[in-house]
Structure 1
Amino acid sequence: MSQVEVSEGTVEAPGCTSPLFYRQSRASSGEAEMSVLLLHGRRFSSENWLKIGTLHALADAGCRAVAVDLPGLGRSSSAEAPAAVGELVPAAFLTDVCERLRLGPVVLISPSLSGMYSLPLLLQQPHMLRAYIPIAPICTDKISAQQYRSIKVPTLIVYGDGDTELGEVSLSNLSQLPNHSVAVMKGAGHACYLDDPDAWHRLLVDFLAKL
């Protein structure tokens, strides 16, 4: 196992009054084979990905992983959100963040609240995504069936079988993506990755190995 380096930084984002905070990990030896951008839910931040070991697991798998604190949350709390919760954020927001961080094409991990950020990028800038990993995101009902069917990005839909509300709704909508697979985490709730980090890391690394 390689030694993993975790660093911190900030990045400017369009429309934000202050920069966004991020954590970054990569193995200390060798070039990263792919880049991964981790978003988070409403009550969470990049710190959760650090605490449960996802940043380390991705670095061990040969990835450069960047976990961003979304506007108004975590250590980006002073940055004003570009849209109200539940409204789709223009794709230019994440496009600009990815370009400034030199990420791309990127694997995008998007739980819960972060769907309002990730779905517009998936729809409008699919060439920027190497893969998409939604975890019961919001706003999936704001994309039409025709739009979903036009997106060819490899997608791993993840949800906990205890998430009978948003998990099932998002699964129903996201299953219209033509190039998708589904991973159900048994005995897990809405934030399924927190309930069983080891299982989450196994399915994540297995999926990335097939890209």
Structure 2
Amino acid sequence: MCEVEVSDGNVQVEGCTFSPLFYRQSRPSSGETKMSVLLLHGIRFSSQNWLDNGTLHTLAKAGCRAVAIDLPGLGRSELAKAPAKVGELAPASFLVDVCEQLQLNPVVVISPSLSGMYSLPFLIQHQNLLRAYIPVAPICTDKFTPEQYQSVKVASLIVYGDQDAQLGEASFSNLRHLANHSVAVMKGAGHPCYLDDPDAWHRLLIEFLAKL
């Protein structure tokens, strides 16, 4: 059985004032690390959810180094000032610096809901730094054109729950323009589909990463 290391830390990121960002990470305790994965989260959530639902452990068992950060103003990064207001696009340099400070490049980014305001500028402007992109009904998808999405060649897995009336289909209608994408609709799952059905979520995730 694969042994997994889980640890906590803090990282000071450019453009994020007053307090460093909190993060949790997991990795295999032995053997080669296949890839790095950055897990973001929605407005009502934090890195704790990725620990509680088993995603951090699942990724480590699959040979990945997984880092889940608490976004500015949320979770245990609540004292950190965000570089943009909720619903506005954050500077792409924010995640560039996160990945540089934590040595994650090239990185797989998992981006649910609120975190779209951070991940989408990063994806559009710095696709060379990403190994893959996994959006889970993120916000701000309407702030980019079909042509901008079509210019992104990064392998992407678009995930959403079929019971997500808020952002599921709406985000997909924009993200479907990504040039190299596949789609996974989770049956019976709502907006936080990765929490509604962790087993199905982990199967989708590991199957996709195995193809990279």
Normalising by the residue count of structure 2, what TM-score does the alignment of the two structures yield? 0.99
Query: How far apart in 2 are the matches of 1:169 and 1:14?
Result: 32
Aligned twin of 1:144: 145
User: What is the Cα deviation at residue 172 of structure 1?
Assistant: 0.5
User: What is the Cα deviation at residue 88 of structure 1?
Assistant: 0.4
Gap regions ≥5 residues in structure 1: none
Query: How far apart in 2 are the matches of 1:184 and 1:133?
Result: 13
User: What is the Cα deviation at residue 164 of structure 1?
Assistant: 2.0
Query: How far apart in 1 are the matches of 2:32 and 2:185?
Result: 32
Aligned twin of 1:178: 179
Aligned twin of 1:23: 24
User: What is the Cα deviation at residue 176 of structure 1?
Assistant: 0.4
Aligned twin of 2:5: 5
- Describe the SS at the equivalent of 1:13: coil
Aligned twin of 2:156: 155
Asked whether 1:91 is paired with 2:81, we answer no
> Where do residues 71-110 of structure 1 align in structure 2 (5 Å cutoff)?
71-110=72-111
Gap regions ≥5 residues in structure 2: none
- Between the aligned residues of both structures, percent identity stands at 74
User: What is the Cα deviation at residue 165 of structure 1?
Assistant: 2.4
Query: How far apart in 2 are the matches of 1:87 and 1:59?
Result: 32
- Describe the SS at the equivalent of 2:42: coil
User: What is the Cα deviation at residue 93 of structure 1?
Assistant: 0.4
Aligned twin of 1:131: 132
Query: How far apart in 2 are the matches of 1:31 and 1:178?
Result: 31
Query: How far apart in 1 are the matches of 2:169 and 2:29?
Result: 39
- Give the number of aligned pairs: 211
Aligned twin of 1:203: 204
Amino acid at match of 1:10: N
Query: How far apart in 2 are the matches of 1:15 and 1:150?
Result: 27
Amino acid at match of 1:38: L
User: What is the Cα deviation at residue 31 of structure 1?
Assistant: 2.0
User: What is the Cα deviation at residue 135 of structure 1?
Assistant: 0.1
Amino acid at match of 1:13: V
Instruction: Describe the superposition over 1:88-113 as per-residue Cα deviations: whole angstroms up to 9, x where unpaired.
Output: 00100000010000001000000000
Normalising by the residue count of structure 1, what TM-score does the alignment of the two structures yield? 0.99
- Describe the SS at the equivalent of 1:133: strand
- Describe the SS at the equivalent of 1:65: strand
Aligned twin of 2:118: 117
- Describe the SS at the equivalent of 1:50: helix
Query: How far apart in 2 are the matches of 1:47 and 1:105?
Result: 24
Amino acid at match of 2:11: V
* 4+ residue segments displaced more than 4 Å: none
Query: How far apart in 1 are the matches of 2:15 and 2:99?
Result: 15
User: What is the Cα deviation at residue 126 of structure 1?
Assistant: 0.2
Q: CA RMSD for the aligned pairs?
A: 0.6
